[in-house]
């Protein structure tokens, strides 16, 4: 695959979608479209990144994102090497800096990092010469998820999101997915609503470019898509939700809610899903559900991200 000669990718790293212009975001998604076509072929592997190496440094547990990047790298013929917290010296007290310098000494072309600490990806990007791709850092950002979500919507809405409204429903407080999607969807022209119990809305949410709701019946009226979020049970120790059954009764997306949305409204979820808690099982599997489309989109988008950053010429910005 030949990169569009009229467009030079300017970024050394992908830390969040906030760094991308509309033109850059669309170029990345256009590139993903080409890889998506390759992924439909009987032989899916191409020699695009042969000789390049990609380190998958996942200090936080992941199934979808890690596997998606691994498949993306292998389909581009890159050498991929996976490293988890349990398999690294982080468990022995080694600092992130020293782990990063060790990885850098191996001379990778791209390091994909997921870390529990907000800002971890930027920390590496400021210290290492290779490309850094943020696969999720704390509650801060998850740019590749937002890009694959946009790519999935693009298959139905086309390139122009203006006139479309999307509702993000659930645990907004702890969600890096919500933060990155709000930024990107606004860039692409969509209107965004968020809905959650007040205890799961972050401080300052009224300053976000969104309309805020606490009542799902009101929030879902006329929307073109609903993105449910995983209720992060491991982060609920603070007692923000007194009763999970009450949450399910009030905020689980059901057929009754979807009937209030625009005809043909799409349903999304970044996974893993807690069926019956965040989303009714029949809605997760309905014809309008993009849940499996998001998984397929993730491979194409991450192929584009690895391609653009591994083949980028020196001298670009962060």
Annotated binding residues for L-aspartate, as ranges? 92, 176, 230
- Rounded-to-integer distance, Cα 35 and Cα 267, Å: 24
Residue 131: beta bridge partners? 110
131-137 β-sheet, strand order? 79-84, 53-58, 110-115, 131-137
- CA–CA–CA angle 263, 205, 63 (5° rounding): 70
Residue ranges of the binding site for carbamoyl phosphate? 64-65, 114, 142, 145, 271-272
Q: How buried is 206 (Cβ within 10 angstroms: 0-12 exposed, 13-18 middle, 19+ buried)?
A: exposed
In the numeric block, which tokens belong to residue 179?
């933060």
Look up tokens 């933060």; give the residue: 179
What tokens appear for 251 in the block? Answer: 């905020």
Task: Give the residue numbers of the binding site.
Answer: 64-65, 92, 114, 142, 145, 176, 230, 271-272
């Amino acid at each position: 695959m030949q990169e569009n000669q009229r467009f030079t990718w300017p970024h050394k790293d992908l830390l969040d979608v906030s760094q991308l212009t509309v033109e850059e975001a669309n170029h990345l998604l256009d590139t993903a479209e080409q890889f998506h076509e390759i992924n439909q072929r009987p032989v899916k592997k191409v020699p695009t990144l042969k000789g390049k190496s990609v380190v998958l440094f996942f200090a936080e547990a992941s199934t979808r994102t890690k596997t998606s990047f691994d498949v993306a790298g292998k389909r581009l013929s890159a050498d991929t090497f996976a490293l988890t917290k349990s398999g690294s010296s982080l468990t022995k007290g080694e600092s992130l800096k020293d782990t990063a310098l060790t990885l850098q000494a191996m001379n990778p072309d791209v390091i994909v990092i997921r870390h529990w600490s907000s800002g971890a990806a930027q920390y590496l990007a400021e210290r290492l010469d290779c490309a850094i791709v943020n696969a999720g850092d704390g509650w801060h950002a998850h740019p590749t998820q937002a890009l694959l979500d946009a790519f999935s919507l693009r298959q139905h809405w086309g390139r122009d999101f203006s006139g479309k409204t999307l509702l993000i429903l659930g645990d907004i407080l702890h969600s890096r997915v919500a933060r990155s999607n709000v930024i990107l969807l606004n860039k692409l022209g969509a209107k965004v609503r968020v809905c959650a119990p007040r205890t799961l809305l972050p401080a300052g949410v009224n300053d976000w470019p969104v309309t805020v709701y606490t009542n799902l019946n009101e929030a879902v009226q006329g929307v073109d898509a609903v993105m449910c979020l995983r209720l992060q049970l491991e982060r609920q120790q603070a007692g923000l939700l007194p009763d999970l059954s009450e949450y399910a009764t009030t905020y689980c997306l059901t057929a009754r809610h979807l009937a209030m949305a625009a005809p043909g409204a799409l349903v999304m979820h970044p996974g893993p899903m807690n069926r019956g808690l965040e989303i009714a099982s029949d809605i997760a599997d309905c014809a309008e559900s993009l849940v499996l489309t998001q998984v397929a989109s993730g491979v194409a988008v991450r192929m584009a991200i690895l391609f653009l950053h591994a083949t980028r010429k020196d001298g670009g910005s962060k």
